[in-house]
Structure 1
Amino acid sequence: MSTASLDLASADEASSRLGISRASLYAYVSRGLVRSFASPHDSRQRLYAVEDVETLVERKARFRRPAAAAATALDWGLPVLETSITQIKDGHLFYRGQDAIALARTASLEDTARLLVGALDEDAFLKHSRIPGSLPGPAFGPHGYVAQAVRLLSEPAPRETRAAEVAAILRLMTAAASGGDPGIEPIHIHLASVWKTSPQAADKIRRALVLCADHELSSSAFAVRVTASTGASLRNAIIAGLVTLSGPYHGGMTERVRAFLDNPGTTSPPGLRHRLYPDGDPRGRALLENVPLLASDATTLKTITSASGGSPSIDVALVMMERAYGLPVGAAFTLFAIGRTAGWLAHAIEQRSQAALIRPRARYVATDEPSAQKSSS
């Protein structure tokens, strides 16, 4: 990202303005709350965005006023509950304490689901699941895929053990994309076979699924937890996450990225950076490693990474991977949804174990009287 238009402060200035130690400032940077840049005059020095510092100063002032704090408790970036599933720290993503980037080099989505959910039998994915016999054709993209997955998840389900239910839900999400029963075949192998891709593409599909598996308390994970906290079924909790993911500012960002890559001169580039990763999204970098990008995408990637100062977001990487291997249009969102299901299942199960209803309060803001009650004179 160009710093020409940004006001920047030294670490001492930023920490002094916030009234915190330099160690706390670095923690804010790792959480994506304050952007950090290399000094153009000294590569060993970091400078900090004054705009972000002032935003935090104002936020801290609000929290000294209880009513204001309550009104903003769900603002972006504020922690609202505890979890042992995923952590984002110092620009790194961890699943149950394991580095997700390292895990993605060899693990399957099934391995990752076992890790995230916990307490699953080793053979949880070695038994067949009940999949409807009459499946429609494959579906892709936020609209078609979501509709198909919701239909499959809404069908009557047998009483199952937790492991069997987890496996069945992951396979139903896969069947919505492939139009077929994955059986006990690894999900990435099943998708690669249906999509008729190369072994190299199959491995990238595997890696994409693992990198998308969870991302702490994203909007969709929060929706899953709210739903699970009411006592709703696991399948209904996953539906809540899925429809939330489809929004254009979440997983639906992949559609906006594709539109930009198709016509890079007509729209502004979306999804370049993630606020939790000041130095770039490590998932995007890991996914695009050794991917034979289209020439046009390689040029665009070079341009946007130079402008943004870091690696591209996972949304950008998913779409570029889709295009590089000739996957069906919309497969980027499909992979995002199937992979993220592992995390949603973990969040739903963890929330159920806490036996607490998530029920924030609203702050009423008076408005003008309804027009129907106003005088007609």
Structure 2
Amino acid sequence: MAWMTAAEALDVLNVRPQTLYANVSRGKIRAKPDEVDVRRSLYHRDDVLRMARRANGRRKVEIVSSEAMQYGDPVLPSAISTVADGRLFYRGRDATALADSASLEDIAALLWECAPGEAAAIWPASAGNDVATASRGVTAAPVGDAAAGCTDTGKAAASSNGAGGGELVDGALAAGLFALARRSAVDAPSLGRPAAALRAEAAEVLATLVDAMVGKSSAAGRDAPVSTRLARAWHAEAHLDLIRRTLVLMADHELNASTFATRVAISTGASLAAGVLAGFTTLTGPLHGGAANAFAELVAQARASNADDAVRHWLASQRTLPAFGHPLYPDGDPRAKALLKLLPKVQPHEQLAVAAEQQAGELPSIDYALAVLTAACGLPSDAPFVLFAAGRCVGWLAHALEQVQANRLIRPRARYTGPATGVRADIRTRAQP
């Protein structure tokens, strides 16, 4: 059951009704009208349980410290990105607004704090292209019908690349891991080096990852914008603008699992490539970066029966519904909204979105939008993974550069919960006369 009554929520939280309502008004707990009795409200179970875990009054320092490592609580100070009032900001600027005109290279210049003219030196081929410099606030011309000519088959690019199914995702993942590992073995440590040199190296690390995932022999040269390289590699030049927008929206998302892994590695003085490798390896796990595969399974189930049954059976298995809902966005993921408004409706994806909201109260996340983009524009099946990894690499590198400046090892303490060590007993014994 995804929703709880007020009585159930109050029982779990052990708070007064006013506190429950205050958490709803602050966006910490999602609520919706009860269809049976519109005078009442229902409250999202996951939000209530999360608040219950956090609302324990004044706790001991070690307990607070351990819980600070859990999802939703701040861990490290950062000036790179944040989510506030249901919107994503890159250094104080709305990411969805930046996506209207900026390239991924523009966002890299913004997040890496490149000096004026430095970006043109790092990406010489991008300087004369039809992209805006985000740090100067250049606005975009109207996009028009960005999705014109899209299909709903999702097969054209996959067949043209000579592969399909899970092979492409596995190939991109393995190639990225191998390429980053090779650099990690030889690149210089990050500490003690000039910031400008590190930014230039960051551009090389990004190029290395893109090379590995789409191939050095793609029609666009290595110095071309990443969006152009992907569009040509996928024979999807007609959808270049959508690919560009997606990369911008994927560039960073606060201190998620992959970003934290990157910062931990960099805090040891490891090279930028090693830090990105640490972040990239987290994408092997289904809980971060694996939503595309899980959603593909849900789509297959919907095609085999229908969307309502597919969602119902998925929820009955006690699995988290993939590509729907995000704790930071109770009113819906703005990144998904920014892309979906430019895309045609695709089935059974649209039917699954309706069923997910009706049965679980969940709205589409960026993972859903990536799946619709892939299906609508005939991109290869690895497109969601490649777009996520290529875009997020810019954010990983931004956090790596910020961590180098911090020059501090990230070393949390563990709150030991194992068998008794006997140390205290030994001390008491020795203290006796």
TM-score of the superposed pair, with normalisation by structure 1: 0.82
Question: Which position in structure 2 is the counterpart of 1:168?
Answer: 204
Identify which of 272, 276, 287 aligns with 2:324. Answer: 272
Secondary structure of 1:87's counterpart equals: strand
Superposed counterparts of 1:1-377, under 5 Å: 5-8=3-6, 17=16, 26-27=25-26, 29=27, 33-38=28-33, 48-49=43-44, 52-53=47-48, 55-61=50-56, 63-120=58-115, 121-127=118-124, 142-153=169-180, 154-155=182-183, 156-157=186-187, 161-180=197-216, 182-199=221-238, 201-264=239-302, 265=305, 268=314, 269-309=321-361, 311-367=363-419
Gap change, CA 1:62 and 1:22, over 3 Å in 2: closer
1:325 and 1:319 mapped to 2: Cα distance?
A: 10
Structure 1 spans left out of the alignment, 5+ residues: 129-136, 370-377
Give the Cα separation in 1 of the matches to 2:6 and 2:46. 8
Asked whether the equivalents of residues 140 and 328 of structure 1 are also in contact (C-alpha less than 8 Å), the reply is no
Q: For 1:285-324, what per-residue CA distance to the aligned partner results, in whole angstroms no more than 9, with x for missing partners?
A: 2122231343332333333344454541111211221121
Q: State the alpha-carbon separation in 2 of the partners of residues 261 and 368 from structure 1.
A: 49
Helix, strand or coil for the counterpart of 1:118? coil
Letter aligned with residue 294 of structure 2: R
Aligned residues: CA RMSD: 3.5
Give the conservation status (yes or no) of the 8 Å contact 1:141–1:334: no
Name which one, 1 or 2, has greater alpha-carbon Rg.
2
Unaligned runs of at least 5 residues, structure 2? 126-161, 315-320, 422-433
Offset of residue 167 of structure 1: 1.5
Distance apart, 1:271 and its partner CA: 2.6
Whole-angstrom CA distance in 2 between matches of 1:328 and 1:61: 48
2:228 touches 2:240 (CA, 8 Å); kept in 1? yes
User: Could you tell me the TM-score, scaled by structure 2's length?
Assistant: 0.72
1:145-185 C-alpha deviation (Å, 9 max, x unpaired): 22211222223458982332122122112112221264221
- Give distance in 2, aligned partners of 1:80 and 1:295: 40
Amino-acid identity (%): 38
Letter of the 1:171 partner, please give it. A
How far does the alpha carbon of each residue in 1:216-245 deviate from its partner, in whole angstroms, 9 at most, with x for none? 010001001111111100000000000112
> Which stretch shows the higher mean deviation, 339-348 or 118-127?
118-127
Corresponding position of 1:375: none
- How far apart in 2 are the matches of 1:140 and 1:71? 39
The more displaced of 335-344 and 314-323 is: 314-323
Q: Supply the distance in 2 between the matched residues of 1:80 and 1:62 (Cα, whole angstroms).
A: 20
CA apart distance, 1:37: 2.9
Letter in 1 for 2:198: R
The amino acid across from 1:219 in the alignment is A
